[in-house]
């Protein structure tokens, strides 16, 4: 067996880490932890050498061992990119692992506990990196929303229009995942919101509520919580196809529900002239709804007091409520 000598204890530790990190039976989280420890040593040594040499960087320190020579040719990059390369995974996954690992030391005990349990679950295969990352991120977003609430208006309205941020609670890392774009709500949270919706609705009121096909099983519970009864629906044909689990999806429902008297207030000829299926090509902005539907609502219910929940912008003649307004 060839004897290997080292100039320092740090160099010996790094060699041992690299030797162990390449073992087949080692999980990605284990390899991540080893490589994170390695770069912590390298960065500490770089700081100690700062001012004495200008050629020492994390990518070219302690490169006497044969296994470490390849690091000298790596481009200047941050630690997460280096770890991703060493483990053999994508940068995004490595960055999410870093965020989970960092969250274990959070001052918030709930986040620290969630991250700690999640990290162990990743190690034993019970959860994916993406699933744990989403749980932590969702908790952080909800905490922020609680600390910075956007108060609902105390007034009452004859028409409520809402695009609820439905939670899909899936493990998806692609751009379709709503959690990558905004803070979503569980069924329990939406039902809790229903108490406020009941208070703001007049005894005669109509509700226009967007709901995607995968959430139709939530519809009755939500309508009951809001105090409305299902009447009918419109369909938005988005033209562009969207990837789905069973087939390509290009539609979404706009549910119409009412309490008391809720029929349209315009002439019946106008009502019959409006097609229940509207073909409007969707934009590239996630979950953005066409303004054509708002125009239809204004046509059906002129001169009514309207509020939009989860709005993204201010609209003349409407009360608009939401984090993005």
Read off the pLDDT of residues 92-126 as tens digits, 9 standing for 90 and up: 999 999 999 999 999 999 999 999 999 999 999 99
Say if residue 202's pLDDT is above 60. Answer: yes
Give the pLDDT of residue 45.
76
The Cα 161–Cα 309 span in angstroms is: 6
pLDDT higher than 50, residue 72 = no
For 270-299, what is the mean pLDDT? 91
With a cut of 60, say whether residue 53 has pLDDT above it: no
At residue 185 the predicted structure's pLDDT band, cuts being 50, 70 and 90, is confident
pLDDT score, position 167 = 86
Residue with tokens 């790596």: 74
Residue with tokens 């993005």: 324
Average pLDDT for 229-250: 90
SS3 assignment, position 114: helix
Helix axes 187-200, 219-226, angle to 10 degrees: 30
CA distance 187 to 193: 10
Confidence of residue 169 (pLDDT cuts 50, 70, 90): low
- Residue that wins the pLDDT comparison between 7 and 299: 299
* pTM, 2 dp: 0.61
pLDDT of residue 180: 52
Q: Where are the alpha helices (DSSP H) in the chain?
A: 9-21, 28-49, 79-87, 91-103, 109-124, 129-147, 187-200, 219-226, 268-272, 291-300
pLDDT for the residue numbered 204 = 98
**Span between the terminal Cα atoms of the chain, in Å:** 69
**pLDDT band for position 24 (50/70/90)?**
low
Question: Six-digit token pair at 8?
Answer: 């320092």
Q: Cα–Cα distance between 195 and 239 in angstroms, integer? A: 36
Domains and CATH numbers, the chain: 9-144 (no CATH), 157-321 (3.40.50.150)
pLDDT of residue 64: 39
- The Cα 59–Cα 231 span in angstroms is 65
Q: Are 201 and 259 in contact (CB under 8 A)?
A: yes
């Amino acid at each position: 067996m060839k004897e290997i000598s080292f100039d320092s204890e740090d160099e010996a530790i790094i060699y041992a880490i690299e030797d162990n990190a390449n073992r087949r039976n080692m999980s990605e989280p284990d390899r991540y932890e080893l490589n994170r420890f390695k770069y912590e040593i390298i960065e500490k040594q770089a700081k100690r050498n700062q001012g004495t040499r200008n050629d020492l960087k994390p990518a070219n320190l302690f490169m006497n061992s044969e296994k470490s020579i390849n690091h000298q040719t790596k481009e200047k990059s941050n630690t997460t990119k280096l770890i991703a390369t060493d483990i053999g995974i994508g940068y995004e996954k490595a960055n999410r692992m870093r965020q989970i690992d960092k969250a274990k030391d959070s001052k918030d005990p709930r986040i620290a506990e969630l991250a700690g349990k999640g990290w162990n679950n990743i190690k034993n295969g019970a959860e994916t990196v993406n699933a744990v990352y989403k749980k932590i991120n969702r908790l952080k977003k909800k905490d922020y929303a609680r600390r910075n609430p956007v108060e609902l208006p105390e007034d009452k309205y004859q028409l409520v229009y809402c695009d609820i941020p439905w939670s899909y609670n899936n493990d998806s890392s692609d751009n379709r995942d709503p959690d990558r774009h905004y803070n979503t709500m569980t069924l329990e949270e939406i039902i809790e919101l229903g108490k406020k919706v009941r208070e703001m609705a007049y005894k005669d009121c109509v509700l226009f509520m967007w709901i995607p096909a995968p959430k139709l099983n939530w519809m009755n519970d939500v309508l009951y919580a809001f105090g409305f009864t299902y009447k009918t629906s419109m369909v938005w044909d988005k033209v562009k196809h969207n990837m789905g689990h069973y087939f390509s999806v290009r539609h979404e429902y706009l549910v119409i529900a009412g309490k008391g008297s809720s029929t349209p207030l315009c002439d019946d000829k106008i009502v019959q002239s409006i097609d229940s299926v509207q073909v409007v090509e969707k934009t590239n902005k996630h979950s953005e709804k066409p303004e054509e539907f708002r125009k239809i609502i204004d046509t059906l219910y002129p001169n009514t007091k309207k509020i939009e929940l989860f709005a993204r912008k201010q609209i003349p003649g409407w009360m608009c409520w939401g984090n993005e307004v």
